[in-house]
Amino acid sequence: MTNTTTKYIFVTGGVSSSLGKGIIAASLAKLLQSQGYRTTIQKLDPYINIDPGTLNPYEHGECYVTDDGAETDLDLGHYERFLNVPTSQANNVTTGRIYQSVIDKERRGEFLGKTVQVIPHITDEIKHRIQILGKSGEYDIILTEIGGTVGDIESLPYVEAVRQLKWELGNENALVIHLTLIPYLSAAGELKTKPTQHSVKTLMESGVQADILVCRTEHELNDGIRTKLARFCNVKKESVIQSIDASTIYDVPNMMLEEGLDKVVLNQLQLEAHTPDLTSWNNFTEKLKNPKSDIVIGLIGKYVELQDSYKSILEAFIHAGAANEVRVKVVSIHSEFLDVQNVKLKIENLDGVLVAPGFGERGIEGKIEAIRYVREHNIPFFGICLGMQMAVIEFSRNVLNLHKANSSEMDELTPFPVIDLMEAQKLITKKGGTMRLGSWECNLLENSKVATIYNKNIIHERHRHRYEFNNDFKDQIENSGMLSTGCNPQTGLVEIVEIPSHPWFIGVQYHPEYKSTVANPHPLFLSFIKAALSYKINKQL
């Protein structure tokens, strides 16, 4: 890139929430990255929580964790999966964090007795946060997704900050993409543009003119509708971009390429457009759409009715499935309704089982019953975080005969706390941001299954937990056939357990799903899917 000035693209949403701002932002960023521009994306969330770490998954879906330990919005997972570039604390900003920073400055006397106001103090803090990544010198283009919908009270300070930045940076260095909805009225048989017109008008009332419209629609936008939107919304006709419903989110970059979104953006930012190199991306989508076989994986958790709760796991299955040329059908099984009477019926026809992460005691006995069944019947098993802990409890109860074995999270009085609160957590009373978070080193046992899978002896994976494998029981458990094959070198914390006598039985304390991307599917997911396929083939013989 010849211009040394960092360019900014702001993505706002109108008419309705859940239109897919994160996917559009990630897709555009992918197109820009594939043309040689160093690109990243950040998310501005208008809620007053400091971060989503204490939010119930029913409220906000999955909490995504970065290498530097930030608990962030799940959209950052999309950014990493599309771009294969790690995000950080700087990529996610919340209103809570903005106000906390400003109030802390006021308490320190940094405003010299002045009245602290939304303008300029809050908006200045927002502008500062937006530009942190840009001033690092690492990126040519930064996309900023603004959460919520234009017109929301809580979004107003962000829109005002965008208005100021557009004025300060100049039109050649900043632009606004407005994602909106074009509803189809089946009774009239028509697409309606009026909601988009009102949404653009609302944005303009805050002093921000959308430069590009991306229109979510279930039906093709004809030339007349595009002309009408351009005329009424003050944009060029080529800046009215159709985003029709896709069969998979991984089709969206190519759909935006066909619509010319990247060219319109680069033209306005006075940057040179190149032919995007999407070779590896298209190889992935080709394999995704043309699998050679199918497998069925049971995802066992307590938030299964809300797919966003396990978003990264589901996407990791897609990455690993495509790499193995397998279509992975995921069957969600609510652990609260699993018991010894129905576990066989629910699991016997599956090709593999993943027991999901989580917190609290609800549904854990169902998870334990499922793990017992897959262990005894040699069905491939993958346990993540709480899933790994449940595997240790199940093994302790049913192999070591420690019938009251449990986690001290679930039963403080258990005589066999095979899972216990980490020492570093015992004096902590505040919940937010106090878990073991971010990337930690793990040494793998030589010749173990995981060492073979990773093809290395030292790995770094992301964590989010308070409880850990209790090393007081390590020898007893290992002597009975469950090995600790991955440990943190500083603390001795057991990170990985596996049963060598089982075809594929691995539990990990960390969250491998956070590091799976289109370009680099996670090796554990790759191996698990391969094992599930082998199990299915052998079962049919």
Q: What is the mean pLDDT of residues 458-467?
A: 90
Among positive and negative, which fits the CA dihedral 105, 111, 114, 117? negative
What pLDDT is attached to residue 209? Answer: 95
DSSP code for 150: T
The answer to whether 490 touches 441, Cβ cutoff 8 Å, is yes
pLDDT at 380: 98
Indicate the pLDDT class of residue 424, thresholds 50, 70 and 90.
low
Q: Which residues, other chains included, contact 63 with Cβ-Cβ below 8 Å and sequence gap of 6+?
A: 51, 52, 53, 55, 57, 71, 72, 74, 464
Alpha-carbon radius of gyration of the chain = 25
pLDDT for res 359: 72
| Residues recorded for the chain | 541
| The two structure tokens encoding residue 44 | 């501005």
Of residues 54 and 30, more confidence is placed in 30
Does the pLDDT at position 2 exceed 60? no
**What is the pLDDT at residue 1?**
38
The active-site residue out of 215, 385, 442, 487 is 385
Q: How confident is the model at residue 427 (pLDDT cuts 50, 70, 90)?
A: low
* Cβ(157)–Cβ(53) below 8 Å: no
| 320-373 confidence digits (pLDDT tens) | 999 999 999 999 999 888 899 999 999 999 999 999 988 777 778 999 999 999
Mean pLDDT across 499-522: 96
Q: Half-sphere exposure of 433 toward its Cβ, with a 13 Å CA cutoff? A: 11
Closest CA to 400 of 472, 340, 486, 481: 481
Provide the pLDDT for residue 302.
80
Q: Active site includes 205?
A: no
Identify any residues that bridge with 327 across adjacent strands, giving them in sequence order.
294
Using CA atoms, how far apart are residues 209 and 171, in angstroms rounded to an integer?
11
Q: What is the mean pLDDT of the chain?
A: 91
pLDDT > 70: what percent of the chain? 95
Q: In the prediction, which pLDDT does 3 show?
A: 45
Q: Is the pLDDT of residue 382 over 60?
A: yes
User: Which residue type is seen at 322?
Assistant: A
Per-residue confidence band for 436, with pLDDT thresholds at 50, 70 and 90: confident
Whole-number Cα distances in Å, 3 to 36, 138, 169, 173, 265: 13, 13, 14, 10, 15
Contact 367, 338 (CB under 8 A): yes
Binned at pLDDT 50, 70 and 90, residue 423 comes out as: low
**125 catalytic residue (yes or no):** no
Q: Stretch 378-388: mean pLDDT, rounded?
A: 96
The pLDDT of residue 58: 59
Backbone angles phi, psi at 262, to 5 degrees: -65, -40
pTM: 0.91
pLDDT per residue as tens digits for the range 203-248? 999 999 999 999 999 999 999 999 999 999 999 999 999 999 899 9
pLDDT tens readout for residues 119-175: 999 999 999 999 999 888 889 999 999 998 998 999 999 999 999 999 999 989 999
- Residues ≥6 apart with Cβ < 8 Å to 14: 149, 150, 151, 178, 179, 180, 181, 195, 196, 199, 200, 202, 203
303 pLDDT band (50/70/90 cuts)?
A: confident
Residue 540 confidence (pLDDT): 80
pLDDT for residue 116 = 93
- Label each residue of 286-305 as H, E or C: HHHHCCCEEEEEEEEECCCC
* Cα–Cα nearest to 432, from 44, 163, 97, 95: 97
* Gap between the Cα atoms of 336 and 333, Å rounded: 9
Q: Distances in Å between the alpha carbon of 415 and those of 153, 164, 397, 405?
A: 52, 61, 12, 7
Contact 6, 140 (CB under 8 A): yes
Give the pLDDT confidence of 164-209 residue by residue, as tens digits.
Answer: 999 999 989 999 999 999 998 888 888 999 999 999 999 999 999 9
DSSP 406: E
Q: Which residue has the tokens 């899972």?
A: 419
Residue with tokens 């009085």: 413
Give the pLDDT of residue 137.
Answer: 87
Cα 430 → chain centroid: 25
pLDDT at 189: 83
513 belongs to the catalytic site: yes
Structure tokens at 429: 């009373």
Helices assigned H by DSSP within 185-310: 194-205, 223-233, 252-259, 261-268, 279-289
Count CB-CB contacts under 10 A for residue 517: 19
Six-digit token pair at 66?
């970065």
In eight-state DSSP terms, residue 308 is: G
pLDDT reported for residue 305: 64
Helical (H) or strand (E) element with 29: helix 21-33
From the list 121, 178, 463, 511, the catalytic residue is 511
